[in-house]
Amino acid sequence: MKLKVCGMNHNPIEVAQVHPDYLGFIFWEPSSRYFGEAMPQLPQSIKKVGVFVDAPLEEVLEKVDHYGLDAVQLHGKESPEYCEELKTDFLSFRAQSRNKKIDTKLEVSTPIGLTNLEIIKVFSIKDDFDFSILKEYEEVCDYFLFDTKGKLPGGNGYTFDWSVLEHYPSTKPFFLSGGIGLGSVEKLKEFLNSPASRYCFAIDVNSKFEIEPGLKDIPSLKAFTKSLSEFLTE
């Protein structure tokens, strides 16, 4: 089971010391966790995820190239065609950037290329969900992410009814997100023991581990990862 900590801003170096598999950086300007700083040097074992909301394709490509992102999380109403274009256009964009002598010397955790840029498409759930809409995204996304439908795209601090995922019809691995905190450990254990978690690839946490937006509570994160690790190795 992988762990993604999203909403990186004030203390990503300290969060990296907890050894998550993914760190999420939000590039949606209205967010209180908007990331506009220089990318810190992170361990190569950690994948950097850029979070976007209905951003122009060119903007996404430029951010991926500039920050050395390993994955893109699409949190808006991006179409399957948009996802496919993102996958197919990245190599040519990177080649053009090199030809223009744009600085792309930032260290990345994996070589970026057509198959290396992971695309995570987010779907928000309230009381129920029409899983049929996933079908068109199957071939153009690497992962799905399910979070709680709220006023803002992500970081709302609320949990949806995970039992909805008992009806998940796909074999596509997914991230579980939405209001997961230190108090969610027992409920999370129950979910991970259920058939609904069969294709759960990663746990995504954010606002429940914050002192303020973008500033993560390191002791709580350590306690959470310890509890999760102990459960998974039982």
Please report the pLDDT score of residue 218 as a whole number: 97
Domain limits for position 109: 2-232
Interval 65-90: pLDDT, tens:
899 999 999 999 999 999 999 988 77
Cα–Cα distance, 194 to 114 (Å, whole number): 35
Please report the pLDDT score of residue 105 as a whole number: 38
Q: Is the CB of residue 15 less than 8 Å from the CB of residue 205?
A: no
pTM flag (> 0.85): yes
The residue behind tokens 């429940």 is 208
CATH (domain of 193): 3.20.20.70
Quick one: average pLDDT of 209-224?
Answer: 96
Please report the pLDDT score of residue 4 as a whole number: 97
- pLDDT above 90 covers what percent of the chain? 74
Q: Is 19 left (phi over 0), alpha (psi -120 to 50) or beta?
A: left
The strand pairing partners of 146, in sequence order, are: 123, 176
User: Based on the structure, what is the number of domains in the chain?
Assistant: 1
Q: What angle do CA 66, 72, 78 make, to 5 degrees?
A: 120
Q: Is the CB of residue 185 less than 8 Å from the CB of residue 228?
A: yes
Nearest to 181 by CA among 159, 160, 202: 159
Cα–Cα distance, 45 to 110 (Å, whole number): 9
For residue 131, the Cα-to-chain-centroid distance in whole angstroms is: 20
**Is residue 44 predicted with pLDDT exceeding 50?**
yes
Task: Grade residue 109 by pLDDT with cuts at 50, 70 and 90.
Answer: very low
Interval 152-182: pLDDT, tens:
665 556 789 999 999 999 999 999 999 899 9
Interval 55-64: pLDDT, tens:
999 999 999 9
Task: Grade residue 108 by pLDDT with cuts at 50, 70 and 90.
Answer: very low
DSSP of 117-143? SEEEEEEEESS---GGGGGGGTTT-SE
Cβ burial of 150 (10 Å; 0-12, 13-18, 19+) is middle
